[in-house]
């Protein structure tokens, strides 16, 4: 059984004042039937961990360098994230691919670094609007999956997030059929490459997930949770999304 995952990506948002949101989430998600993760800016990782106390709320980084240490001004290693209390790290987010020119090979190296440090990697991929309109979405995603997921990856250390670039922060979302088509293609490619181990990778959807559309998205086959940006910043928005995922994870009687 794949454990469902509600992951929040705070991006370059949040200061110490945001720890109140962490405390609210920690108190409210203890009974969740899914895993709940917040990826705050690295400046807040340690304090967020402390603020959550013994609650099962997890934290992660938003990026890491491939090297464990060294002369890399401004970068943070996977080992340093783990030391600050991270359990996960997002790699290959489209904002990193666009703003920092990250290639699939670089993303794969970061995912390997995550594994080396004992972190789970959330590997992001997704097509642009131009690529979708040109009928290239599945080809682009297939290429990104092949290039960004390192050899030896397994469901225990790797999560895949399908995030169409045109849906991130725009309020636009793909149709249920479009999400289903991509997630089915991802699953098929994982099975092809990793054999039956391909079933173990969790597949998240990301891009304008909100309280109002979460339940519909979580009802889709092969959607094991979400990577949420804007709607993860406030507990009041993120909690209904966690509740929708918890409901989707309810045992069937």
What is the binding site for ligand PGA (CB under 6 A)? Answer: 9, 163, 168-169, 206-209, 227-231
Instruction: Report the distance separating Cα 161 and Cα 116, nearest Å.
Output: 21
93 is catalytic: yes
Output the smallest distance, CB 78 to ligand PGA, in A: 19
Q: Which is nearer to ligand PGA, 160 or 209 (CB)?
A: 209
Of the candidates 35, 93, 102, 183, the residue annotated as catalytic is 93
Residue nearest to ligand PGA (CB): 229
Instruction: Report the distance separating Cα 21 and Cα 7, nearest Å.
Output: 14
163 is catalytic: yes
Of the candidates 21, 35, 163, 183, the residue annotated as catalytic is 163
Q: Which is nearer to ligand PGA, 227 or 239 (CB)?
A: 227
Q: Which is nearer to ligand PGA, 79 or 93 (CB)?
A: 93
Output the smallest distance, CB 251 to ligand PGA, in A: 28
Q: Which is nearer to ligand PGA, 79 or 97 (CB)?
A: 97
Question: Taking the alpha carbons of 79, 95, 141, 184 in that order, is the dihedral positive or negative?
Answer: positive
Output the smallest distance, CB 203 to ligand PGA, in A: 14
What residues form DSSP beta bridges with 91? 123
Q: Which is nearer to ligand PGA, 19 or 168 (CB)?
A: 168
Please give the biggest Cα pair distance in the chain. 56
Tokens of 113: 């670094």
Output the smallest distance, CB 70 to ligand PGA, in A: 29
Output the smallest distance, CB 90 to ligand PGA, in A: 8
The set of catalytic residues is 93, 163
């Amino acid at each position: 059984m794949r454990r469902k995952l509600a992951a929040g990506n705070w991006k370059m948002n949040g200061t110490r004042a945001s720890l109140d949101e962490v405390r609210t989430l920690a108190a409210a998600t203890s009974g969740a039937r899914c895993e709940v993760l917040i990826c705050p800016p690295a400046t807040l990782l340690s304090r967020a961990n402390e603020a959550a106390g013994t609650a099962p709320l997890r934290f992660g980084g938003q990026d890491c360098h491939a090297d464990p240490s060294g002369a890399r001004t401004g970068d943070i290693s996977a080992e340093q994230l783990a030391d600050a209390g991270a359990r996960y790290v997002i790699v290959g987010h489209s904002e990193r691919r666009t703003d920092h020119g990250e290639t699939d090979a670089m993303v794969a190296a970061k995912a390997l670094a995550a594994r080396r440090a004992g972190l789970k990697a959330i590997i992001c991929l997704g097509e642009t609007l131009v690529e979708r309109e040109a009928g290239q979405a599945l080809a682009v995603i297939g290429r990104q999956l092949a290039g960004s997921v390192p050899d030896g990856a397994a469901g225990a250390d790797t999560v895949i997030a399908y995030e169409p670039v045109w849906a991130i922060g725009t309020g636009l979302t793909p149709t249920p059929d479009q999400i289903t088509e991509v997630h089915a293609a991802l699953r098929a490619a994982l099975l092809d490459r990793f054999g039956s181990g391909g079933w173990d990778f969790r597949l998240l959807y990301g891009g304008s997930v909100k309280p109002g559309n979460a339940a519909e998205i979580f009802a889709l086959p092969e959607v094991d949770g979400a990577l949420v940006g804007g709607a993860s910043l406030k507990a009041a928005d993120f909690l209904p999304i966690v509740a929708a995922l918890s409901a989707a994870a309810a045992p069937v009687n």
